[in-house]
A and B are shown apart, each in its own frame.
Chain A
Amino acid sequence: MHEMSLCENIREIILEQAAESRFTCVSRVWLEVGPLSCVEPGALRFGFDVVMRGSVAEGASVEIITPPAKARCLACQTTAPIRQRYDPCPDCGAGPMELIAGDELRISKLEVL
């Protein structure tokens, strides 16, 4: 359940931003969670609700954006979507490929009041 500690990081970033941008209530949070980021979206949502209690983001809704995982073949340079880290290149069969997207873990934006 490292999703709980990730939620604590998210809360800290939101609190810093609240002081900087002077808002008192967050109504929505967009999180970018790559499919290969070792994070379970369900556990992240659960942890979010618990961790945000009593903060400016209590009750905020969470939108999870899942960017597609992509990788580049080191042999033939093809870029292709992948499902798992060790998927071989769909073109030349070499593998595994170098991950270029899919392990993101970012707060992309906030909707605040």
Chain B
Amino acid sequence: MCGTCGCGEGQMTIDGKHHHSHPREIALERDIMAKNDGYARANRQRFRDAGILALNLVSSPGAGKTALLVKTLDMLGDTPCAVIEGDQQTTNDADRIRATGAPAVQINTGKGCHLDAHLVGHAVEDLNPRPDSFLFIENVGNLVCPAGFDLGEAHKVVVLSVTEGEDKPLKYPDMFAAADLALINKADLLPHLDTDLDLIVANARRVNPQLDIITVSAKTGFGMQDWLGWIKATHADQQSATAAE
């Protein structure tokens, strides 16, 4: 008889040795996202300690995130900013950002459909953003997967262009639920479209009643001052919250 488990003769053997084939159960209750969330916490702490406002920009491909960022950086002028660009391939977006004079790091995710907190942590080490600066993280264009990955940002900002249809927030509710601000971009196209802007706003608020919403055009600059105001006010709130801790 086996001295370990008490089982009898004739048990299954592997490589001629007695094999304990009695299945046992191990309770784990482990969160699958725990590792990412750990890196995200470390990133968030680093940003707060350095007074950096980190914003995670998410959208479907082609909503105009990069054009919006380029315009934002131009308008922010001498304010210190840094950018992390996420795309599956190419350094095109980081090149566009660097042309504004802002430091940028490109993460190519290869087959990956989202940025994760570990990738962002390494990008931040490379980028070494200045204290009290704004850090914009442009996520991979995808309205699904990036919703589930905390990068350590202060806020997710979802960018939606007016050509995408009024029901986008209802079709992709997770992203709109995870975001704190929605930028409705390409407002300059509205006169040429049948798009009902009020319906986009209503659908977005149906998913997330607390969502701030600003309509902008990166092309004409419409609404951009409101967006810059939101960034500065949010940064000031973060700084005073950190000071109060």
Interface of B (DSSP majority class): mixed
B23 partner, pick from A9, A27, A86, A106, beta carbons under 8 A: A27
Instruction: Determine which of B25, B32, B207 lies in contact with A110 in the assembled complex, contact meaning CB atoms within 8 Å.
Output: B25
B28 closest partner in A (C-beta): A107
Q: How many residues on A have C-beta within 8 angstroms of the other chain's C-beta atoms?
A: 32
Answer whether residue B116 sits at the interface, using C-beta atoms and an 8 A cutoff. Answer: yes
Is the C-beta of A5 less than 8 angstroms from some C-beta in chain B? yes
B28 near A17 (CB under 8 angstroms)? yes
| Chain A residues numbered 48-96 whose CB sits less than 8 Å from any CB in chain B | 84-86, 95-96
A108–B173 Cα distance when bound, in Å, is 27
Instruction: Let me know if B148 is at the binding interface, CB within 8 A.
Output: yes
A105 and B31 contact, Cβ closer than 8 Å, known pairs A2-B113, A2-B145, A85-B174: yes
**Interface mask (A2-29 → B, CB under 8 Å = 1, otherwise 0):** 1001100110110001000101000110
Listed from nearest, the 7 A-B pairs whose CB atoms lie closest are: A2-B145, A86-B207, A105-B32, A38-B148, A85-B173, A110-B26, A107-B28
Chain A residues at the B interface, C-beta cutoff of 8 Å: 1-2, 5-6, 9-10, 12-13, 17, 21, 23, 27-28, 31, 36-39, 84-86, 95-96, 105-113
Tell me if A38 and B32 are in contact (CB < 8 A).
Answer: no
Query: Which A residues touch B208, using CB under 8 A?
Result: 96
- Give the residues in chain A near B25, CB-CB below 8 Å: 109-112
B174 CB contacts on chain A under 8 angstroms: 36, 38, 85
Measured CA separation A54–B174 after assembly (Å): 34
Given that A5-B116, A9-B32, A36-B174 are known contacts, is A17 also in contact with B148, CB under 8 Å in the complex?
no
Q: B36 to chain A: which residues have CB within 8 Å? A: 9
The minimal Cβ–Cβ distance linking B18 to chain A, given in whole angstroms, is: 13
Question: Between A and B, how many residue pairs show CB distances below 8 Å?
Answer: 91
Q: How far is the CA of A10 from the CA of B173 in the complex (A)?
A: 26
Smallest CB gap from A32: residue in B: B29
CA distance A57 to B147 in the complex (A): 28
Which residues in chain B, 93-150, are within 8 Å of chain A measured between CB atoms? 111-114, 116, 144-145, 147-149
Q: Does B1 contact A (CB under 8 A)?
A: no
Give A111 to B24 CA distance when docked, in angstroms.
6
Question: Taking the complex as formed, is B177 at the interface, i.e. its CB lies under 8 A from any CB of chain A?
Answer: yes
| B33 adjacent to chain A (CB < 8 Å) | yes
Q: Is the CB of A112 within 8 A of B23?
A: yes
Among residues of B, the one whose C-beta sits closest to the C-beta of A12 is B35
